[in-house]
């Protein structure tokens, strides 16, 4: 058998003089990468999904400008990193009080990220703003 071009999901078996016949095979799955000591390098992380409205608009649109905040803006909202100790991080660099409260809540529930999403539901745990 000869391997054909492409992703490797087909093997080509010669079929007479005029061509080849494609027969599907199982896709190739790469081996897991392992760190020293046998631990898998990747890990699954949790995030808290909240409405954008749990932040005032001026805070939300300025998230990436605060020294104490690591945030990425996307079309419908923001992905914000939750530090291991949000209170200690806020003591080192400015974090808006509205965000700090949510970061502490998320970290207490082992969340590594906050997802502020325009379409996410409101939570009874936090105040919200109309914008």
**Residue 40: per-residue pLDDT:** 61
Q: What whole-number distance in Å separates Cα of residue 104 and Cα of residue 83? A: 9
Domain with 113 in it: 47-117
Distance CA(3)–CA(23), nearest Å, equals 10
Q: What is the pLDDT, as a whole number, of residue 29?
A: 54
Flag whether 37 is in a domain: yes
Give the whole-number percent of the chain exceeding pLDDT 90. 66
Same domain, yes or no: 36 and 68: no
Alpha carbon 124 to chain centroid, angstroms: 24
- 111 falls within a domain: yes
Examine the domain organization and report whether 23 and 2 are in the same domain: yes
Residue 42: band (very low, low, confident or very high) from pLDDT cuts 50, 70, 90: confident
**Lowest-confidence range among 34-38, 56-60, 83-87, 123-127?**
34-38
68/112 same-domain check: yes
What integer best gives the mean pLDDT of the chain?
82
Residue that wins the pLDDT comparison between 109 and 39: 109
Where does the pLDDT of residue 9 fall: very low under 50, low under 70, confident under 90, or very high at 90 and above? very low
More confident residue, 84 or 39: 84
Total domains, the chain: 2
User: Do 52 and 36 fall within a single domain?
Assistant: no
Q: Indicate if 74 and 112 belong to the same structural domain.
A: yes
CB 118 within 8 A of CB 88: no
């Amino acid at each position: 058998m000869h391997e054909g071009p492409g992703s490797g999901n087909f093997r080509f078996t010669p079929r007479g003089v005029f061509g080849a016949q494609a027969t599907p095979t199982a896709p190739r799955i790469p081996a897991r990468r392992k760190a020293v000591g046998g631990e898998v390098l990747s890990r699954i992380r949790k995030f808290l999904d909240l409405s954008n409205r749990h932040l005032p608009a001026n805070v939300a649109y300025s998230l990436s400008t605060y020294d104490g905040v690591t945030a990425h803006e996307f079309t419908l909202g923001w992905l914000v990193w939750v530090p291991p100790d949000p209170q200690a991080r806020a003591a080192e660099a400015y974090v808006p009080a509205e965000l700090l409260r949510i970061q502490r809540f998320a970290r207490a529930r082992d969340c590594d990220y906050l997802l502020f999403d325009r379409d996410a539901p409101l939570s009874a745990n936090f105040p919200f703003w109309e914008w």
